[in-house]
Amino acid sequence: MKDVWNGLCEKCDHKSCCNDYVTPFLTPNEFQNIKKIKDEYFADKVLIKNIKGYALKKKKDTNECIFWNNAQGCTIYQTRPFDCKLFPFDIYKINGKYTWIVYSCNENADWTWSEEILKILEKEVITQDVIEHLDAFADLGRLDASDKSYKYIKLRKVKINFNTR
């Protein structure tokens, strides 16, 4: 099978989203879906741009997601939130437009190969639930601008037909 990730994970020395990045945002629907399989305290309520949601918790005194297991990986992989499904890509609202970005330490990399993945994400992963919470999800205020681990490259505008979903 063709490597659609173009060897990205093997070339990168960054930690994954599961153990080093901003706490993932969950919509209320995603929270309820995870709650069905994990009966534990796993998220905090948040309000971003007057949009209610949740933030996944980190393990005590670490940057690891509460659902990360070093031996198994993500213990909620099939139910993981939209925010997790996108990594290493993300959506930020930049200059008023939803923009695909990729976290990268190599500003000069050729990311044209990623177009295939972005199209799949737009078609299969961006749901009505996500669209309703996109302003909270895409808020750059969630980042600590002084932290260089959030270095990213702008790819292109997100293509979503907001009227048909």
Task: Work out the average pLDDT over 15-39.
Answer: 83
Token duo for residue 156 = 């292109």
Give the three-class secondary structure for 73: strand
Averaged confidence pLDDT in the chain: 83
Higher-pLDDT residue of 164 and 150 is: 150
Q: For residue 89, give the amino acid letter.
A: F
Residue-level pLDDT at 5? 55
Render pLDDT for 65-91 as a digit per residue (tens, 0 to 9): 899 888 888 899 999 999 889 888 889
Could you tell me where the beta strands, DSSP code E, fall in 4-149? 25-26, 43-48, 51-56, 68-69, 73-74, 89-94, 97-103
pTM to 2 decimals?
0.81
Token duo for residue 123 = 């078609």
Residue-level pLDDT at 1? 34
Residue-level pLDDT at 164? 45
String of b and e for 89-100 (b: at least 16 CB within 10 Å)? bbbbbeeeebbb
Task: Work out the average pLDDT over 4-29.
Answer: 68
Residue-level pLDDT at 53? 95
Question: Which residues lie closer than 8 Å to 69 by C-beta, 6 or more apart?
Answer: 75
pLDDT at 105 over 90: no
Closest CA to 116 of 1, 6, 25, 36: 6
